[in-house]
Structure 1
Amino acid sequence: MHRKSASTHRPEETSGFRSLESFMKKMNVRTVLPALAFVAAFGAMTPAHAADKITIIVGGMEKQIYLPAVLCDRLGFFKEQGLDVDLINSKAGVEAENELLAGAVQGVVGFYDHTVDLQAKGKFIQSIVQFSQAPGEVEMVSTKAEDVKSPADFKGKTLGVTGLGSSTDFLTQYMASRAGLKAGEFTLLPVGAGNTFIAAMKQDAIQAGMTTEPTVGQLIKSNTAKVLVDLRTPESTEKALGGPYPAASFYVQTNWLESHHDEAQKIANALVKTMHWIAGHSAEEIADKMPKDYYVGDKDLYVKGLAGGKAMFTPDGRMPEKGPETVLGVLKGFSRNVQGKDIDLSKTYTTEFVDAAAKTLGSSQ
């Protein structure tokens, strides 16, 4: 498998949220780097304060798979918990993960599979609220690539992913491996999402690629691409991956969690309340609460995509049963990093905060 890099436009600042570039530009590197080193070394000695600002980085806030984070903020649930949360936008989950490990942010909204991948590298992060039980991703194939009928036809093709080391990278490699392909028989190209993904497909820079709504709907409407593998529902995901695949989640570093229990619980309370809100409202009602620029000029298409993929969300923020085992099986299917490693799945997530949130919200167990 070959990997290529590509220049992609980062998500712009929209609707009051900040982009990662804006966040980093405002940081004085000479003063921040020593501070981050101090925090990494002595963070556990610092007492938790509920009034502390919480910075959360999201691997693409405009993506429907991550909408619970933005929705939670817009519904006022973070403030309701007494939290001052700053949401930062990034282009991919792997970029968000790196900022978390550097100590620049307190939490990440990204895919759960990163917790397993990082444990194999000796680094520990934990999901404390699970947004989804299916990836919400779709492998799209260009309408020009008539010879690509299944992942077995990826041989010799260039495949789009959001970023190298991202969850779209993981899932694409797994599907290719499961279809009998070997590393080196296809190329992965990081093209982001949205306009950059669409442009790459139109220009034949990629013949197939993995992306999410609302990009999926735009590609289909313009007849640029069609669905090859659909991972937007639990049923289609089980067929393609062998079981439920917990994907979008809120995760933090384990050492931060140990010293910031109160903040973690308040974040969980807000996010779990959001998951209940999503379960009890229609796609159109949810869309009405989102920033209008997320519709990309077509609200009806946005609502249609959300309605079709709404089943991916958990109703209560809980980790789906057997989900972690499916993720581990997928990663072991292709990743040399994970293969042969003794992974303790109990250290990749915790239900403690969701359980407590359910009691706080008066929900049934």
Structure 2
Amino acid sequence: MTSSVLNRRAFGAVSALSAAAVFAPAIVRSQGESIPALGRVTVAVGGQGLLYYLPLALADSLGFFRAQGLEVVTRDFPAGARALQAVHDGAADVFSGAFEHTLRAQARALPLRSLVLMGRAPQLALGVSTRVSPGGKDFGDLAGRRIGVSSIGSSTHLAASLMLLRAGLASPDVTFVGVGSAGNAMNAFRSGQVHALCHADPVMTRLEQTADMRIVGDLRSLKAAQEVFGGAMPGSSLCAPQAFVQKQPAQAQALVDGIVHALKWLQTAALADLVKTVPSAYLIGDRSAYLAAFSRVRETYSANGQMPDDGPATAHRVLSRVLPGFADTKLDLARTYTNDFVRKARQKYNV
């Protein structure tokens, strides 16, 4: 498994003018007030340029982590499932990815907790190639096809499986293929390695706008997610092993503070601010497509980082439907997340 180690500069820097005029007031401390040296935390991410992980990227590039005295280093992996494995292997401290991984981890006796919720919906879509099925508009065209997902076992695999089940297709009716994230996923789709793709933005919007893809299943809005999942389905979150939470509570709080601050910034940020803040590589060569994708999913970002009351139960219900035998697994859903750090951050930033 290949990964690249990126320090905080990899997320880009805000221009000096923007920092002075907009962001500096949020991070400046009074003279004589020391910033605690909390050290370094390594975060494993499954596709850092995806909008799915935008709050994490913003918290770093806007200096919100550094304002807490924390250095954040990201390790990028082709998919969320692989990023989570890096945490289990000791290659990273915490994990940024789909909340439902905390349930799977508990089922394997690996205690993992969500510290802060970034997305209130999965922000995923399923599309079929217009070359393979020029007039296809429904799931019937997917029978016998190869469907690309970020990796087997990732949230893209789960979402695609659920959408197929709802359409009357079982997993044996298709072949799932791990294609990685962003550029690799687009290349696999355009080259015909897969006939359909379930992925996140800006990948899906770019393929849709270039007429390479026709969307047949869409989970990029709160309404659509509610209809498909039957409740509030948590999306991206920042998760940590229970041992990290117990041994490094100050680092955990600093991470959550940074994310909550970024979520607040997102509530009022202009598109021009976003473009100035994220690295150009995230735009995947098409600024307009990136901004269109952001506008589409913007409502799905959490306003305050707090896990909704019915979120864990919804995730459990979805996993029980898709994964054989999971319904019989005994889980303590209250131990898959904590809102304690978020409550403190909300008081701090008045959100």
TM-score (norm 2): 0.87
> Aligned equivalents of 2:271 and 2:312: distance in 1?
28
Tell me what 1:66 maps to: 53
Match for 1:63: what amino acid?
Answer: L
Tell me what 2:20 maps to: none
TM superposition shift of 1:334: 1.5
**Aligned match of 2:293 in 305, 319, 335?**
305
Match for 2:144: what amino acid?
Answer: G
Name the SS of the counterpart of 1:321 in structure 2: coil
TM superposition shift of 1:50: 4.9
1:201-280 correspondence to structure 2 within 5 Å? 201-280=189-268
**Aligned match of 2:10 in 10, 13, 17?**
17
1:82-231 correspondence to structure 2 within 5 Å? 82-144=69-131, 145-146=133-134, 148-231=136-219
Q: C-alpha offsets along residues 294-326 of structure 1, whole Å, 9 cap, x if unaligned?
A: 112221221111111111100111113312221
Show structure 1 runs of 5+ residues with no match: 1-7, 19-48
> Aligned equivalents of 1:250 and 1:15: distance in 2?
17
- 10 and 157 in structure 1: CA distance in 2 versus 1, 3 angstrom threshold: farther
TM superposition shift of 1:151: 3.4
Q: C-alpha offsets along residues 215-239 of structure 1, whole Å, 9 cap, x if unaligned?
A: 1122122211021111111111112
**1:349 has 2:344 as partner:** no
> Aligned equivalents of 2:312 and 2:135: distance in 1?
34
Tell me what 1:26 maps to: none
**1:359 has 2:347 as partner:** yes
**1:329 has 2:317 as partner:** yes
Name the SS of the counterpart of 1:55 in structure 2: strand
TM superposition shift of 1:258: 1.3
TM superposition shift of 1:271: 0.9
Name the SS of the counterpart of 2:172 in structure 1: coil
Decide whether the 8 Å contact of 1:142 with 1:226 is kept in 2: yes
TM superposition shift of 1:204: 2.5
TM superposition shift of 1:70: 1.1
**Cα RMSD (Å):** 2.2
Tell me what 2:17 maps to: none
Decide whether the 8 Å contact of 2:113 with 2:239 is kept in 1: yes
In percent, how many aligned pairs have the same letter?
Answer: 27
Q: C-alpha offsets along residues 240-296 of structure 1, whole Å, 9 cap, x if unaligned?
A: 222221111100001211111111111111111111111121333223210012112
> Aligned equivalents of 1:259 and 1:200: distance in 2?
42
- 263 and 78 in structure 1: CA distance in 2 versus 1, 3 angstrom threshold: same
TM superposition shift of 1:12: 9.5
Tell me what 2:276 maps to: 288
> Aligned equivalents of 1:12 and 1:270: distance in 2?
21
Match for 2:240: what amino acid?
Answer: V
Name the SS of the counterpart of 2:273 in structure 1: helix
> Aligned equivalents of 1:60 and 1:267: distance in 2?
19
Between the two proteins, the alignment pairs up a number of residues equal to 326
Q: C-alpha offsets along residues 2-53 of structure 1, whole Å, 9 cap, x if unaligned?
A: xxxxxx99779698439xxxxxxxxxxxxxxxxxxxxxxxxxxxxxx95331
TM superposition shift of 1:153: 4.3
> Aligned equivalents of 2:88 and 2:235: distance in 1?
19
Match for 2:138: what amino acid?
Answer: S
TM superposition shift of 1:146: 4.2
> Aligned equivalents of 2:114 and 2:226: distance in 1?
21
Tell me what 2:25 maps to: none
Name the SS of the counterpart of 1:184 in structure 2: helix
Match for 2:234: what amino acid?
Answer: P
Show structure 2 runs of 5+ residues with no match: 12-35
Q: C-alpha offsets along residues 162-203 of structure 1, whole Å, 9 cap, x if unaligned?
A: 001111111111222233333422110011232322222223
